[in-house]
Amino acid sequence: MTSGNCCKSALKLYSFSLRRQIAITLLVTGFLLLLCPGILLREYIQSDYHRYALGSELALWTMIIFTATLILGVILLCYNHAHLFSRKTADLYYALPIKRDSLLAVRFGAAFTGAAFAATTAFLGLGIFALLPGLESGGFWAMLQCWLLCLMLLLLCMSTLLLFLVNSGSIFHFLFSSAVVCVGIPVLFVIGWESYEAAAVGVVAESEWLKYVSPFGYSYLTIGENLDRVNVIGLRGSTVAISLGCSVLFLALSFVMHHNRRTERSGSAFSASIVPYLITVIAAAVGGYVIAIMFSWNTEDMDFWLFLIHGALLVAIASGAIASKGFRKLWRWLICGGVAVVVMLGLMLGFEALGEKDSRYIPPKDEIQSITIEGTYNTPEVTFTEDFDLILAFHALKVANIRGEHSQYTELCVEHDLDTSVMIGDITMQYATTEILNPDVTFTYTLKNGREITRSYWSNSLEELLLIFRIGCTDTYAQSWAFTEYPEGYAQYYYNDKDKNVHDSNTLTPEECTLLMDTFGAELQKADPKEILTTDYVTLELENGKLWQQLCVPRSFTETLTLAEELLD
């Protein structure tokens, strides 16, 4: 048989496979057409929705189409590769005059074609919708890019699944192992990151890594990210490279593993004998952690680890039973469970150590592009592109105070049994006598190499308080309060005296607002800590329509209060 004849046979089998799966393909396609353009058309017809901005919803529709077609792809993959798991079907397919690699390629191709057909039809439906008059369609190119992205990600996910398919002993094991790896690894990653955050007190660091540990996570995050901006920047080259590159890699791996696969005996079909053990370790690690979290929230308690060990062993036995289709050679799976416990311990300790180290890291000044500082309670953020020294000093102070070093201010709080808050500028300072629950100052460093480092801390010292205020007096900060957008600010003045509730308000000029703040700042810097900690204060609010700021002014700050009364009079 010549290679031409081989190709001809493969094509004939491909066309036959397409025919066999046409019913389910059309069913899913019909369902998708109900959604788009069906639902959109209904909205268009039934309402005055003539300015429907489809462009802004392309991400959502792409995600819906991608999800539905991915489900179809999984069904078709299972349907088309039944010969990998059933001896009866293997007799039918492997006796055919076609090479095994061609058979795998043809069956995968047919499954992908079915899913791609459904996706393409759905996008064509969206295209028809876009032709309706009076609609903001999002543009032909935007839609074309969405379609291409959907197909590329579909190929990526389906080639990943093919890799699991050729490495599984049954359909159930295929579903189990792909879920364990594609969901379990991100979960392990998140668990590690949580340990990192817990160890690095007051540190929050986000990572892009999570996006890259699972093709499915990558797909959904990419659709979300890309399509929010699809009209602006279009389909990114990196997305195309990653999707197609990884697809080719996974397909090549699938073929290599399929070549080594033993289909003859159920239960030992794995191309690499380590595969079921590896999957069992991951499943036991994730399962053990989930069970431990369900029964014991605190990871520092002994019972958490007892539950984790118990859970890991149970999940390992279950996973082993799925892989070996029975409860044989239990000791092997129990060892996997034991390895999973060690992995979890190592993972959590490793990430804790990393977190502790990173909690003390302050980026070098010459690497910093900008720093954004932000307080909690919806206070606005301010970005500094200069004046880094004060912020770095503040950060250094925070790092020094990370580990329970009680400052003079905290001691005063404890001594006087005070639980109060002081607001300076737009940064809220939370103090409590017992426990500080939430971080209230967040630094986001944007480095010159594009990397972002985010750190959040709570404030617990007077030194920090004053530093924050001094930061608030910088030009950048002042500019954020320059009342440029609205020519005038609006001030309100309250007494919190129980007997005398005074409420006064007035419209101030930007200069008056700034003067009021400066006066308050000057008094604050001179003040004794005990004076600041008083609960006997007057609340002063400043607002300009864009920013809102509340100052808690102690009654002893006579200059500020006098000025406020004058301005509000």
Q: Binding residues for another protein, per CB under 8 A? A: 1, 5-6, 9, 12-13, 15-16, 20, 86, 88-92, 94-100, 264-265, 268
Minimum distance from residue 76 beta carbon to another protein (Å)? 14
Identify which of residues 23 and 45 has a Cβ nearer to another protein in the complex: 23
Cβ atoms of residues 66 and 154 within 8 Å: yes
Given the DSSP bridges, would you call strands 489-495 and 503-508 parallel, antiparallel or unpaired? antiparallel
Q: Which is nearer to another protein, 86 or 420 (CB)?
A: 86
For another protein, which is the closer residue by CB, 83 or 455? 83
Backbone dihedral region for residue 166 (phi beyond 0: left; psi -120 to 50: alpha; all else: beta): alpha
Closest listed residue to residue 372, CA positions, set 399, 355, 358, 391: 391
The two counts, helices (H) then strands (E), for the chain are 22, 10
DSSP 380: P
C-alpha closest to that of 80 among 204, 9, 174: 174
H helices within 421-557, ranges in order? 462-472, 475-480, 510-526, 529-532
C-beta of 17 vs 247, nearer to another protein:
17
- The closest of 425, 457, 462 to 442, measured between CA atoms, is 457
* Shortest Å, Cβ 264 to another protein: 5
Q: 336-353 as b/e, with b when 16 or more CB fall inside 10 Å?
A: bbbbbbebbeebbeebbe
Amino acid at 297: W
CB of 330 to another protein, least distance (A): 18
| Assigned token pair, 65 | 């189409």
* Minimum CB distance to another protein smaller for 13 or for 40: 13
Task: Output 76 or 467, the one with its CB closest to another protein.
Answer: 76
Smallest distance from the beta carbon of 69 to another protein, in angstroms? 22
> Quick one: 34 or 96, whose CB is closer to another protein?
96
In the complex, what is the shortest distance from the CB of residue 270 to another protein, in angstroms, rounded to a whole number?
13
Q: How far is the CB of 79 from another protein (least distance, A)?
A: 9
The residue among 45 and 95 lying less far from another protein, judged by its C-beta, is 95
CB 220, min distance to another protein, A: 33
Structure tokens at 177: 């192992």
Q: In the complex, what is the shortest distance from the CB of residue 91 to another protein, in angstroms, rounded to a whole number?
A: 4
Nearer to another protein, 80 or 401 (CB): 80
Tell the smallest beta-carbon distance from residue 12 to another protein (Å): 4
Q: Cα–Cα distance between 18 and 431 in angstroms, integer?
A: 67
Upper half-sphere CA count for residue 193 (Cβ side, 13 Å) = 13
Give the CA diameter of the chain.
102
Return all residues near 63 (Cβ < 8 A) that are at least 6 apart.
220, 223, 224
**Which sign does the torsion angle of CA 397, 401, 407, 411 carry?**
positive
Q: How far is the CB of 106 from another protein (least distance, A)?
A: 11
Which structure tokens are listed for 337?
């469970």
Beta carbon nearer to another protein, 86 or 492? 86
Q: Which DSSP string corresponds to 60-75?
A: HHHHHHHHHHHHHHHH
Q: Give me the count of residues in the chain.
A: 569
